[in-house]
Amino acid sequence: MLSKLDRPRKDNETSQTPSQETIDDLFPLKIERDLQLKLLERKHAPELFKLVDSNRTHLRRWLPFVDDYRSVSAANQFIRRNRESHAGKTRVLMGIWSGESLAGVITYDYIDWSNRAVLIGFWLGKSFEGRGIVTRACSALTDLAINELGINRVEIFCAYENTRCRSVPERLEFKQEGVSRQRERIREHFVDTVSYSMLASDWKNRTGEA
Ligand SMILES: CC(C)(COP(=O)(O)OP(=O)(O)OC[C@H]1O[C@@H](n2cnc3c(N)ncnc32)[C@H](O)[C@@H]1OP(=O)(O)O)[C@@H](O)C(=O)NCCC(=O)NCCS
């Protein structure tokens, strides 16, 4: 399959990175009939705030950012800041839609174009857990990164004790690479994290594309 980087380039594109326009063109990304990823825009701020606000207890254990999310305007600022990084093509912020409902958020958290590596982060509202939504979204984004964006390495980091999070890369057969001691600070505690990765060669072998 031709990746986006193999296709004819516009003047402002380099051989290393696709243009923002090229990335934008990938969305909305339809995964299945009732599941799609859309770029989060400022018009989504009220919906995003509502989802965070109704899931504070569920999210707070692992995602301390929720404490700073006290209004629609905080959601608005979050989306705006992410759009700036998006313009720099280092971050892509997406909403996960299950049917008509915003179910959660998933990101290309940091795209390291020079090393062709990307980190994926995610969370879901409590009522959307247990349906394979994030596993399928991560699978689609791994596929997109490798097959469309020319990425060689996809990473997922989870807190060591966050078993639900760890099950996602494990279900997709990411390789567990190691434990980083006290790598993340969650409020007053430092927690260990586990890193997982999928290489393009392994993904293509797994999906029979090699
Ligand atoms: C981490 C988190 C996203 C995982 O959510 P999840 O619902 O467990 O993950 P998925 O959406 O992939 O669903 C997997 C579950 O759906 C089931 N499932 C149903 N259909 C499935 C399908 N087609 N494919 C895969 N799994 C499927 C799986 O068996 C699994 O069930 P289980 O919970 O009984 O083990 C969620 O718990 C969360 O947001 N937690 C709070 C925030 C957080 O920790 N974020 C991560 C920080 S790095």
Rounded to the nearest angstrom, the distance between the alpha carbon of 13 and the centre of ligand 1 is 37
Q: Which atom of ligand 1 lies at the shortest distance from residue 171's CA?
A: 25
Map residue 105 onto helix, strand or coil.
Answer: strand
92 lines ligand 1 (CB under 6 A): no
pLDDT tens per residue, range 15-52: 568 888 888 899 999 999 999 999 999 999 999 999 99
Rounded Cα gap, residues 131 and 121, in angstroms:
18
pTM summary value: 0.92
126 lines ligand 1 (CB under 6 A): no
Domain ranges of the chain: 19-207
Flag whether pLDDT at 2 surpasses 50.
Answer: no
Rounded to the nearest angstrom, the distance between the alpha carbon of 111 and the centre of ligand 1 is 24
Flag whether pLDDT at 11 surpasses 50.
Answer: no
CA 136 to chain centre: 12
140 lines ligand 1 (CB under 6 A): no
The residue type of 93 is L
Confidence of residue 7 (pLDDT cuts 50, 70, 90): very low
Flag whether pLDDT at 85 surpasses 70.
Answer: yes
User: DSSP class of residue 97?
Assistant: E
Rounded Cα gap, residues 194 and 176, in angstroms:
7
Domain spanning 19-207, CATH class: alpha beta
